[in-house]
Amino acid sequence: MRFIHTADHHLNVSLSHASFKNAKAHDTRLYELKDTFFKILRHADEKNVDALLIAGDLFDNASIKIHELESIFERLNALECEVFLLIGNHDVFLYEPPYQSLLDAKNIHVFSKDRPSHDLGETTIHGINTKDFSPEHLKRLNESLDTSRQNILMLHGDILNKHDDHHLTTLKMLEATDFDYIALGHIHKPAFLRDHIAYSGNPEPLDFSESDERGYIEGTLSNKHLSTTFRPVQKRRFLTHTIKVTEEDAIDDLREKMRTCAKDDSKERDFHRIVLKGTRGEHIDIDTDKLTQYLTEDFHYVEIRDETEVAFDYAMLKQSYKDTLISVLIEEYEAMKAPDKEDEAALNEALRALLETEGSQ
């Protein structure tokens, strides 16, 4: 049996990152989240999979319009394959009565305490919604397995960090069960925790903290033998570039470094953040608004973070802070035989700290 495992689409999420601060950019990105979801549905048909496993958080919150939900469920219902829909911590509103009729569609299967399992050929697909999860429930389900069949389990929650609000159980506990594949949702970064236990991740990233490649997991389970492949599917990535600035860099050098920090096709497609680090010359004025304006022509989205620090004029500082720790430190540094970059950085860090206290007095 062939399957696609996906999760965490958060289709109607409210995006908070600055890259979506205007309504148009925000709406466009939400369309993109949906388009990528629809692309996965198309792949399910093209690849003739038997099951589409959606491991929770397909929707972000109850603000989604009912007609919008209806059109999404119509698409699910039109698929050639069977759909197994787990309810995560975000789309828990699907339990409410107005949504029940949507879940009743003939090829869409949901899970409940009374009905945790569905048979599909030689495979049984089990699921425990986030709200219903308890270790005892999982234990009972595992004990009831017919191990002559292939068994897939769907869960939505954290199994790595016990401080997560939606921590379910441990990886060790999952490993001790008899499921042939465990399709997880909740963690947005795709991860195979074991060959047969995986988070598919969200297929379209939401901000710069989600920089890894995004996609879904395609798998085959036959005679209890599992094979899986991660399929990248995202439209755009969030990429962060760190540019090292030195005192020798003129503003035109920096402009050039920023403009060429990524390949042309990525510049046109992805979200880019450029972080400037290091020491800039005294006379260099980094106007991030102006530079962003300049780069915007080449980039789909770009933002600049200036984390540079200005180089110190030691002679001037010695003059102004005569007979203080500041001048003593500079003199000690100048008396060194062969100071290296690290010595200089240490001095500058100390000076910065001292000047900050000076300023606050």
**Whose CB is nearest to Mn ion?**
186
> Nearest distance from residue 189's CB to Mn ion, in Å?
13
Contact 300, 270 (CB under 8 A): yes
Which tokens go with 47?
């690849």
Q: Rounded to the nearest 5°, which phi and psi values hold at 175? A: -60, -30
> Nearest distance from residue 117's CB to Mn ion, in Å?
22
Neighbours of 257 (CB within 10 A): 16
Residues forming the site for Mn ion (CB under 5 A)? 57, 88-89, 186
* Residue 66 to residue 69: CA distance in whole angstroms: 5
Question: What burial letters (b/e) apply to 32-67, b meaning 16+ CB within 10 Å?
Answer: ebbebbebbbebbeeeebbbbbbbbbbbbeeebeee
Closer to Mn ion by Cβ: residue 182 or 261: 182
Closer to Mn ion by Cβ: residue 186 or 318: 186
Closer to Mn ion by Cβ: residue 89 or 348: 89
Contact 113, 140 (CB under 8 A): no
DSSP 250-265: -HHHHHHHHHTSS-HH
> Nearest distance from residue 129's CB to Mn ion, in Å?
11
Closest CA to 237 of 211, 218, 260: 211
Closest CA to 262 of 246, 240, 245, 278: 240
> Nearest distance from residue 168's CB to Mn ion, in Å?
11
Closer to Mn ion by Cβ: residue 10 or 280: 10
Q: How far is CA 209 from the centre of its chain?
A: 6
Closer to Mn ion by Cβ: residue 71 or 209: 209
> Nearest distance from residue 18's CB to Mn ion, in Å?
24
> Nearest distance from residue 9's CB to Mn ion, in Å?
11
Closer to Mn ion by Cβ: residue 57 or 249: 57
* Residue 206 to residue 271: CA distance in whole angstroms: 10
> Nearest distance from residue 302's CB to Mn ion, in Å?
30
* Residue 172 to residue 177: CA distance in whole angstroms: 9
* Residue 151 to residue 182: CA distance in whole angstroms: 9
* Residue 52 to residue 5: CA distance in whole angstroms: 6
> Nearest distance from residue 177's CB to Mn ion, in Å?
21
Closer to Mn ion by Cβ: residue 57 or 270: 57
Question: What burial letters (b/e) apply to 306-328, b meaning 16+ CB within 10 Å?
Answer: bebeebbebeebbeebeeeebbe
> Nearest distance from residue 15's CB to Mn ion, in Å?
16
Closer to Mn ion by Cβ: residue 89 or 107: 89
Closer to Mn ion by Cβ: residue 17 or 186: 186
